Structure 1
Amino acid sequence: MRLIFAGTPEIAVPTLAALEDAGHEIVAVLTQPDARGRRGRTLHPSPVKEYALERGLDVWTPEKASAPEIVARVKELEVDAAAVVAYGQILRPALLEAVRLAWVNLHFSVLPTWRGAAPVQRAIMAGDEVTGASTFVIEKGLDTGPVIGTLTERIRMTDTAGDLLERLAQLGAPLMVQSLEALDAGVARPTPQSTDDISYAEKLTREDAYVRWDLAAHLVDRRIRGCSPAPGAWTTLPDGSVAKLGPVSPRPQRAGTVPGQLREEAGEVLVGTGTEPVALGWIAPAGKKPMDAAAWWRGARLGEGAQLGEA
Structure 2
Amino acid sequence: MSTDLRIVFAGTPEVAVPSLRALVAAGARVVAVVTRPDAPLGRKRVLTPSPVAQAADELGIPVVKAAKLDDDATSRIAAFAPDLGVIVAYGGLVREPLLSAPAHGWINLHFSLLPAWRGAAPVQRSLMAGDAVTGAAVFQLVPALDAGDVFGQIEYAPGDDETAGDVLAALAERGSALLVDVVGEIAAGTAVATPQQGEPTLAPKLGLADGLLDFTLPADEVLARFRGVTPEPGAHTTLAGERFKIHAARRHAGRSLAPGAVEAIKGGILVGTATEAIMIERVQPAGKAAMAADAWLRGQRADVELGS
TM-score class, shorter-chain normalisation, is over 0.9
Letter in 2 for 1:96: L
Using the TM superposition, name which of 160-169 and 182-191 deviates more: 182-191
1:197: which partner in 2? Answer: 199
2:48: which partner in 1? Answer: 44
The whole-number CA distance in structure 2 between the counterparts of 1:218 and 1:267 is 21
> Are the counterparts in 1 of residues 211 and 225 from structure 2 also a CA contact under 8 Å?
yes
1:243: which partner in 2? Answer: 244
1:91: which partner in 2? Answer: 94
Give the CA deviation at 1:247.
Answer: 3.2
The whole-number CA distance in structure 2 between the counterparts of 1:208 and 1:235 is 11
SS in 2 for 1:201: coil
Give the CA deviation at 1:144.
Answer: 0.3
Deviations 1:188-224 (A, max 9, x none): 1111111x23111111111110011111111111111
The whole-number CA distance in structure 1 between the counterparts of 2:58 and 2:288 is 34
The whole-number CA distance in structure 2 between the counterparts of 1:242 and 1:92 is 40
2:181: which partner in 1? Answer: 178
1:207: which partner in 2? Answer: 209
The whole-number CA distance in structure 2 between the counterparts of 1:182 and 1:302 is 65
Q: 1:309 to 1:139 in 2, by over 3 A?
A: same
The whole-number CA distance in structure 2 between the counterparts of 1:24 and 1:110 is 25
Letter in 1 for 2:307: G
Matched, 1:141 2:156: no
Match of 2:62 among 14, 33, 58: 58
The whole-number CA distance in structure 1 between the counterparts of 2:35 and 2:79 is 19
Letter in 2 for 1:45: P
Give the CA deviation at 1:276.
Answer: 1.3
1:278: which partner in 2? Answer: 278
The whole-number CA distance in structure 2 between the counterparts of 1:123 and 1:35 is 28
Number of aligned residue pairs = 304
> Are the counterparts in 2 of residues 74 and 98 from structure 1 also a CA contact under 8 Å?
no
- 1:27-42 equivalences under 5 Å are 27-37=31-41, 39=43, 41-42=45-46
Letter in 2 for 1:197: E
Letter in 1 for 2:302: G
Root mean square deviation, CA, Å: 1.5
> Are the counterparts in 2 of residues 93 and 139 from structure 1 also a CA contact under 8 Å?
no
1:130: which partner in 2? Answer: 133
SS in 2 for 1:225: helix
Q: 1:211 to 1:40 in 2, by over 3 A?
A: farther
> Are the counterparts in 2 of residues 263 and 303 from structure 1 also a CA contact under 8 Å?
no
2:302: which partner in 1? Answer: 303
The whole-number CA distance in structure 2 between the counterparts of 1:69 and 1:242 is 42
> Are the counterparts in 2 of residues 244 and 284 from structure 1 also a CA contact under 8 Å?
yes
The whole-number CA distance in structure 2 between the counterparts of 1:236 and 1:109 is 32
What are the ranges of 5 or more consecutive residues in structure 1 without an aligned counterpart?
none
> Are the counterparts in 2 of residues 211 and 235 from structure 1 also a CA contact under 8 Å?
yes
Shift >4 Å, 4+ stretches: none
Deviations 1:153-176 (A, max 9, x none): 112111100000000000000111
Give the CA deviation at 1:63.
Answer: 2.5
1:167: which partner in 2? Answer: 170
The whole-number CA distance in structure 1 between the counterparts of 2:200 and 2:101 is 30
TM-score by length of 2: 0.94
Q: 1:184 to 1:263 in 2, by over 3 A?
A: same
The whole-number CA distance in structure 2 between the counterparts of 1:94 and 1:289 is 48
SS in 1 for 2:260: coil
2:260: which partner in 1? Answer: 260
2:29: which partner in 1? Answer: 25
The whole-number CA distance in structure 1 between the counterparts of 2:155 and 2:279 is 31
Give the CA deviation at 1:77.
Answer: 1.9
TM-score by length of 1: 0.93
**Percent of pairs with identical residues:** 43
The whole-number CA distance in structure 2 between the counterparts of 1:75 and 1:292 is 52
The whole-number CA distance in structure 1 between the counterparts of 2:301 and 2:88 is 46
Give the CA deviation at 1:99.
Answer: 0.7
What are the ranges of 5 or more consecutive residues in structure 2 without an aligned counterpart?
none
- 1:111-130 equivalences under 5 Å are 111-130=114-133
Letter in 2 for 1:308: L
